[in-house]
Amino acid sequence: MVGLGHIAQVAVLPAFAHARANSRLVAIVSGDRTKRRELGRRYKVAAYSYEQYDECLKEVDAVYIALPNSQHAEFTVRAARAGVHVLCEKPMAVTVDECETMLEACRANRVKLMIAYRLHFEELNLRAIDLVRRGAIGEPKFFNSSFSMTVRKGDIRLQKAHGGGSLYDIGVYCINAARYLFRAEPKEVVAMAVNSGLARLAEVDESTAGILRFDGERVASFVTSFNAADVATYQIVGTKGHLRLDPAYEYAEPLAWTMTIGGKAKRVRSATRDQFAPELLHFSDCILKNRQPEPSGEEGMQDVRIVQALYQSAETGKAVPIPPFKERKRPTRRQRMAKPGVAKPRLVKVQSASID
């Protein structure tokens, strides 16, 4: 486990208890001595500093990278060159060039690269994909999503040097959801970013609205914000009905969807699930059986490509075309794995990014 921030401590480290079938936590890497000491003792694993990363790579089969976005490429490439497989948090990197460097390093050294899109394994999101694919709401026409939070002052998400910004942090959820629900790729994008002038938000986009145009005259729109109440929802509307997930992107609370056909609504609510253990199980299975992981590095790079195009559109005020892209795999029902939720552990020198 490389990086011991909030997501690592509250979700990934506890998830190993549900992934024992093929995965074992053996080491942690952090720049903080207290985190290394306390979490190393708690999980009974070796603890390394960032300066000792190359030493750590000699002792492990794979790494889960949960570092700031700006460090994903460097630590992935170093792992690949050491012959170590990589499960990397999203966004994959800050630029498409970095993504291509990561992909090339992993290919050249014959290691697996997977991007940690946990919702590709989450029951309700996979059911939504299946319902849309089977035509339950008719022909899907448009998608809309809202994802926002009030981010604490000083959080790395607000620091440009670390790859901060609402599109990088939470916009990738909206983009990825639209792509897997439409089972298609956008042809062009348009965006508008706003900033109210608050000092803590000066380096990044405070709120961004994006529109993605797909083949078949389908559109996806979304708004992300770092300065609004917590919202995490999406809706896809078809010619016969619509499907809404609210909340859609959370991992620490139950998710729910409502499908409305002909004015009649059906609502399903899930229990709180461990969304991270399925990632670990799938990734380790791909390593052991020499299979291509889903979501792949190519999938992660496409979202970064779209994020960069949206920022370009917001800056220029013009629509930006997206080059053709054909990914080999999409999330399927076979990736549905239900694991019970985990109790929130005692956190060490870390807090949630959101004030709410």
- Across the chain, what does the average pLDDT equal? 95
Q: Which of 90, 112, 249, 311 is catalytic?
A: 90
pLDDT at 329: 67
| 3-state DSSP assignment of residue 310 | helix
pLDDT at 355: 81
Q: Which of 43, 64, 168, 173 is catalytic?
A: 173
Whether 90 is catalytic = yes
Q: What pTM, to 2 d.p., does this model score?
A: 0.95
The domain segmentation of the chain, as residue ranges, is 6-118+276-295, 122-272+304-321
35: pLDDT strictly greater than 80: yes
97: pLDDT strictly greater than 90: yes
pLDDT at 41: 98
Whether 249 is catalytic = no
Strands (DSSP E) along 18-70, which ranges? 27-29, 46-48, 62-65
In this structure, whether the domain defined by 122-272+304-321 belongs to CATH 3.20.20.30 is answered with no
Fold of 6-118+276-295: Rossmann fold (3.40.50)
328: pLDDT strictly greater than 70: no
- pLDDT band (50, 70, 90) for residue 327: low
- pLDDT band (50, 70, 90) for residue 326: confident
Strands (DSSP E) along the chain, which ranges? 27-29, 46-48, 62-65, 85-88, 113-115, 140-150, 186-194, 207-214, 218-225, 227-238, 241-245, 256-261, 264-269, 320-321
336: pLDDT strictly greater than 90: no
343: pLDDT strictly greater than 90: no
Backbone Cα Rg of the chain: 20
pLDDT at 342: 87
Give pLDDT tens digits for 224-256.
Answer: 999 999 999 999 999 999 999 999 999 988 999
Query: Of all residues in the chain, what percent carry a pLDDT higher than 90?
Result: 91
User: Can you tell me the mean pLDDT for 80-89?
Assistant: 98
Contact call for residues 235 and 260 (beta carbons, < 8 A): no
pLDDT at 145: 98
